[in-house]
Each structure stands twice: as C-alpha cells, then as structure tokens.
Chains A and B, each alone.
Chain A
C-alpha cells in the first residue's frame, strides 16, 4: 500500500471538518443555556433517563429555551447522574452537578436557568477556572489524572460523529493515510505502547510482524470482550467515544495492510453494541470507512460481532473460534495470531484502550508518549476502581503512580473510617496485594513482580470487613465456571481448588489443606494452555502469601477474622443495649428469625437466620444493639418463648 499523496484527501476531509466546525459554532453560539447529561450505562443505571425527561418536561412547562446535549461518561461513577450546565447569561462558568435526580433537575431549571441562582449547595465544581466557584481542577480526583484515551469522554456526544471531528477527530487518520505505513508502525514502536488488554506485548512489534506477513487477506480485531467482573473501561470508552477507537482501527488496518476489521463486543453491553454500530455507519456515510476512504486507494470494512458471554473468549485464539462459529476454546500458540489468526489469516488483535491510544500518539508524536509514564511502561493506564472507596469510577493515570496515591489521594480512601486491607488487581487472573504494596508503582513489570498483574484494569479495594479466603473462593468460583474444559488441570484442578476453599469458608477445613492448595495451584499453572488456566490460581496464591493467618484461623479456630463467611459468623442482640418494645429489626428481617424474649427484648433464632445483616442496618443508631461474632458458638444463648397458639 502506497501512501495516497494527493490533495484530494485533504480537500475531502476539510469539507467534513468545516461542516463539523459549523455545527459546533451554531451549537455554542446559540444564546441559550446548554445542558450536558451523561448517558452511558452507569448514568442510565443511576437514573439519567429520568433526569433527562425531567429536564425536558420542566423546560417545556416553564417555556425555557435550552439545548440538551447527551454525552458519554467521564468516569465519575460516584457522582452519577452527572449534569453540566452551561448558562452564560447567568455570569457563571459551566457548572458540574452531581447526583442530579428528577427533582433536582426540575429545581435547577426553575432556580438556575430561570432565576440565575446556581444553588451552591448542589454545585460540585466549575469546569473552568474562575473567581466564583471552585474549579473541578482543584480536586485531586480531577487534577491528578492524566487523560489521553479518555480525554473527550463525557464531553462529546458519542452518537454524533461531527462532535468528534470538531474536537480534532479523524484528522490523524488523514495524516496517516498520507504517511508510509512502515513509518506509522515505526512510530508506534518508538512510542513504547504496550497492549492494554493485560499481557502488555509491544503493540508496535505486533503490527510490524503482521505487516511482514506475506498473506494478503489480513484482519484487524478490536477486542472488547471485557469479561473481568468489576472492569468496565472498554465499555465506557465504546459508549462515550466510539469514534476514537474506530479511528485507531482504521489507522492500524492501513499500517498492517488489512481490509477487514471486526469489533468483538460482549452481548452484555447492548448500549456499546448499538453505539459502535451507529458510529461505524456514520463513518461510512462520510466516506471515512468503506471503499476508497476519503478518495484514497485504501479500503476497509468494519463489522461488529457480539460475543455471547464466555469469559475465555477474551483470549485471542478462543475469540477467533467464537467468530468462526465454534465453541470458544483456545489453541496452542505459536503460531501466533499475526501469522495464523482468524480463519488462519494474519490477524492483529488489540484491546479497545490500545486502539484508542493510537490517534493521540500519532497526533503528538512518539516522544511525547514516551515521556508519560515509566521507562518500560509508557503512557497512561485506565483503571476501574470499585469496592470500598469513596470515589469509585474510572481513573486514567500515568504509569508509575503508586497504589497509595491512586487509592487514597485520587479516589478518596476507604469510606466509614474503615481500615484498608487489600486491593485486588487484574480480576480473576490477578492477585490481592496487602498494605505493604501500597507504595508499589503501577506499571506492567512492578505489578507482575508483586504477584498481581495489570490485567485489563479492574481494581477492587477491600476494607477490613472483607474476608480474603472468601474473595479467593469467589474468583475460583468464577474461573472454575468459565474454564472451557480443554485442559485437564484447569478443568478439574480449579474444581478441586474451589472445593477446598468452599470447605474452608464453611469451617470444615482440615490440616494440610493449605499445602494442598499450593501444590494444586502450581500444577494448574503448569498444566494449562491459555492465560485463564495459567493465572486462575493467582488469587489463591497471593492471598495465601499475604494473608496466611486468615486461612489458618479458618482451619484451626473455625473463625472468620473479617466476620464475612456466613457459616462461621452469627448475630445476636446485646440485651443491655436492645430497647424494650422496639420492633425495628423484627419487621426488617426477611426470614422472621427475630423473636421477642419474655422480657420484651429481641433474640435471634440461629436456625432461621440467614445472616444478611439487615438487622444491623435496621437497629436505630442510638441503640446499636446488634453484634456479630465468629465463631458462632460465642453467641449467648437466649431462651425463645414457646409460640402462642
């Protein structure tokens, strides 16, 4: 493929860009307030649809003229539904409001849009520096991030290609189409970009190998089969800025010489599927995709394939089998996908974040990218931080930031004055790290060394109330179910690991179980073909290494130190604190396990109790009478009065 060195390309694109800028100007210069509402899956789950409806109704009711602009998600899940109101006439800068429910929306229309009062008590911050309202950039959740991939997420409408083009989108593609493909591959290699899917293989090298492959029919696949429970960066990017991914895919296809590409998205992400398909259609309509892209000699078609809910299909060779119409079982590598991939053709398969990194890298140059992050891991990492943190959500940070900065400074630390206990990185293939690792820099190599891994970027923070044995059991339960069954050690080994862990959490652990866990884990690692089996024992191994005392307590004392394993804990009401005649817990109990004693205080029928903890929530804080203990035989015996007949 020779670069299309003609002016036609520039002209074709400049017409599109002019149109985009014109639309942007018309929108921005309209003398009415603009309301930007975040409408990705997480926003919708928090009620963004009702918020939008409330805005529309209130605007119509009060006859206020304003534009509603639906945008994607900026990663601030704790603040959803997020609304940014730009009301220039009021004299205030654009204001970021958090947790805007329907009632708040109606109030803002009346008081802010009509009367000019921004209601300071509901303001989160301003999106620009100003003298009136603290800017968002003064908060560490905002200013310590470095947004490259997610720069435009939450600010542009994912359903409008012109919105992306007005922000400079697709201009890198135009430049790339006039560059020699070898130079693009070289530039990506120079940038030091490593695959963001988890393994961290050099993207530039992958492309170079695919470019060298002799066969003509090559494929580019965008891997959006994000199966890790607790990780949703890929979904957010596809829902907030699908065009950046598509632009990256087109550049990749041009660089390696492919003419067919596939986006493989989980079927569990219906909104992402819809938005990507729509984005592809829009790009085709503008001639940015299809045959003779922008009048050049380069053709590319992109299709969407919906994965059907098999975790192992995130593994590249299993993903190919799934597209080919078979059970998604991995095969041996080599041959690697760049030689023999989908239908045995050379295939470049990259993660969503990797492809979305391409346009900014080519735009700013390899050196710029190299300067961000650490020496061996350049660029930024995106994590979805969930669990017990104050500000959960998506965070994009330069590589090399320590876990402590990420969890405590950026995400606000642990809520409810609890103590930090562990952080689980990399989903079912990663590991649990304890406090000692808080100063570990986040990059591919440091995390692998600590026993966890970068993985796709899921990070679950756990406080002192989390039982590490139970967490290991949870992940094993997941991998055991998702094991495709090809390798015996993975299929049967994970089953036995799970059986032992189940035994431990039920208080039926035996001497020697821990050693057995270690031996089995090593065997599973050695005897499995793909990443799923090779990494499945990681949660067990790391938790055994860093939290061994907890395992031992489960076996020897039949005690769960975190009071989490339900078979090893029990509830009771402290008779000195329990208020006579109060029925708060009894009405809340889903199984009627709470009874009234002869002196009108409460007792728990341990046979009926399912240990859901509702009574703890129900008990008025001034009494705070519910106690939880482990092992369960510590519970004082409370006489249950005979039932009246």
Chain B
C-alpha cells in the first residue's frame, strides 16, 4: 500500500525531468532515493515517461553498481573492500556478517531487517577495515565487533518495542 503512494509520488516528480535520454540516470537515482530500489513497476513508469523500452533501461541500470533491484533491509550493511580494507582483512569482516546474518553479499534477510553489500571504497581508508551500517561508519572492525554491533541493533530494537508496550499500557 505504501509502495503505491511512493510510485504515485515518483510519477508526479517525473514531470520535473526533461523527456530526454540524458535524464535517464538522474531519474533512476531519484526513483531509488524515493523507493530505495528499482522495482519492476517503477521501471515501467520511467519507460513510459521517457518512451524508451524497459529492456534498454534495465541495460543501463544493471551496468551501474549503484542501482538495486531488491528492497534493502531496514539496516543496510555495507562492508568496504577497498585496498586498505582488503590489506587489513576486510573480507573476513564480510564473511562474519554473512555468517551471522545468514545471507550472502547482495541479499536481504527474509524479515527485511538486514541487507548485506560489499562496496569498493567508502573513502575512510585510515580507519580500515570499515563497515557502514545505515548511515554510521564503523572503523577498525574486527570479527568480534560484528557480533557486538548486531547485538546492539537487536537490543535497541527490543528496547523500542518495550518502550512502545509501556506507552500503550500507560494510555
């Protein structure tokens, strides 16, 4: 239901872009910002607007790493595998996330809580190895820190749930 509303907003926003080929990538970026991924429906809307075949849009969108075709989790995890992070064993960090979350690179967990992605370089090489959860950059990662970070999210979630319960009970 919510997705419908977002798609409608996207359709309205499309009017701001010129109906030209050069608008394609900025439009896709806008769609991903609104919807957080490129759904089949969204691509159809863009194709109709620009009068470009959908296949062509998929061709462009899949070329670029930025575009996602599956909804990300509530807590998107990005593990940096830039040179500095690699030298300091970033791949072990990625593996640890994979193991703890039970999903592979590029996937989203079934409950849509977490998604996991490897990124080429977030540009904080002096803090290597680095992982980004949501918007927060975590530097100097270690396998045991992975567990701690996930535990923290879990606890925060539980505390929020308890708070909510308390509020509801109070009312």
Contacts and interface: CB of A to CB of B under 8 A. Distances in A.
Interface of A: 41-42, 44-46, 77-78, 80, 227-232, 235, 267-269, 305-306, 308-311, 322-328, 384, 386-388, 392-393, 424, 427, 458, 460, 462, 466, 471, 474-475, 478, 484, 588, 590-591, 610-614, 617-618
B52 to A, nearest CB: 9
A484 B63 contact: yes
Contact of A78 (B99, B100, B119, B126): B126
A326 B21 contact: yes
B171 interface: no
A23 B3 CA distance: 48
A320 B102 CA distance: 40
A306 B29 contact: yes
Contacts of B123: 41-42, 232, 235, 268-269
Interface in B50-64: 59-60, 63-64
Contacts of A424: 83
**10 closest Cβ pairs, A-B complex:** A77-B126, A230-B83, A229-B82, A309-B65, A308-B64, A386-B125, A45-B137, A309-B66, A325-B24, A232-B123
A80 B126 contact: yes
Given A227-B120, A306-B26, A590-B146, A324 B87 contact: no
A227 B120 CA distance: 8
Given A232-B124, A309-B66, A327-B63, 20 more contacts: A44-B137, A45-B137, A46-B127, A229-B83, A309-B64, A322-B64, A325-B24, A325-B25, A326-B21, A328-B64, A424-B83, A471-B86, A474-B86, A590-B144, A591-B99, A610-B99, A611-B92, A613-B89, A614-B142, A614-B143
A135 to B, nearest CB: 24
Interface string B108-128: 000000000001111111111
30 contacts: A42-B123, A42-B126, A45-B127, A229-B86, A231-B121, A232-B121, A232-B124, A232-B125, A235-B123, A267-B66, A306-B26, A309-B65, A325-B25, A327-B63, A387-B125, A392-B125, A460-B84, A462-B87, A466-B87, A474-B86, A475-B83, A478-B120, A484-B63, A590-B100, A590-B143, A590-B144, A590-B147, A612-B92, A612-B96, A617-B142
Given A46-B139, A614-B144, A392 B126 contact: yes
Interface residues of B, number: 47
A610 B96 CA distance: 9
Interface in B31-61: 59-60
A327 B60 contact: yes
B48 to A, nearest CB: 16
Interface string B140-156: 00111011000000000
A325 B22 contact: yes
Most central of B63, B87, B89, B137 by chain A CB within 10 Å? B87
Contact of B25 (A42, A308, A387, A466): A308
Nearest to A328: B63
B130 interface: yes
B92 A42 contact: no
Contacts of B95: 610, 612
Contacts of A460: 83-84, 87
A103 B11 CA distance: 48
A531 B89 CA distance: 28
Contacts of A393: 126
Most central of B24, B84, B88, B122 by chain A CB within 10 Å? B84
A610 B91 CA distance: 11
B79 to A, nearest CB: 13
Given A46-B127, A325-B60, A386-B83, A613 B25 contact: no
A387 B63 contact: no
A310 B28 CA distance: 15
A42 B87 contact: no
A45 B124 contact: yes
A285 B99 CA distance: 52
Nearest to A269: B123
A417 B59 CA distance: 51
A231 to B, nearest CB: 8
A145 B125 CA distance: 20
A296 B73 CA distance: 52
A229 B124 contact: no
Nearest to A235: B123
A612 B143 contact: yes
B128 to A, nearest CB: 7
Given A386-B84, A610-B92, A610-B95, A308 B24 contact: no
A165 B67 CA distance: 39
A42 B29 contact: no
Given A45-B130, A230-B82, A613-B92, A471 B24 contact: no
Contacts of A475: 83
Contacts of A309: 64-66, 120
Contacts of B81: 229
A386 B65 CA distance: 24
B83 A474 contact: yes
B87 A471 contact: yes
Most central of B128, B139, B143, B146 by chain A CB within 10 Å? B143
A588 B125 contact: no
Nearest to B130: A45
B23 interface: yes
Given A45-B124, A230-B125, A325 B21 contact: yes
A78 B122 CA distance: 16
Contacts of B21: 324-326
A399 B123 CA distance: 24
Contacts of A474: 83, 86
Contacts of B124: 41-42, 45-46, 77, 232
Contacts of A231: 121
A588 to B, nearest CB: 5
Contact of B22 (A229, A310, A323): A323
A42 B127 contact: yes
Most central of A231, A269, A325, A618 by chain B CB within 10 Å? A325
A591 B143 CA distance: 10
Given A310-B63, A324-B21, A327-B60, A267 B82 contact: no
Given A267-B66, A325-B60, A328-B63, A590 B96 contact: yes
A588 B130 CA distance: 20
A325 B23 contact: yes
Contact of B83 (A305, A328, A458, A614): A458
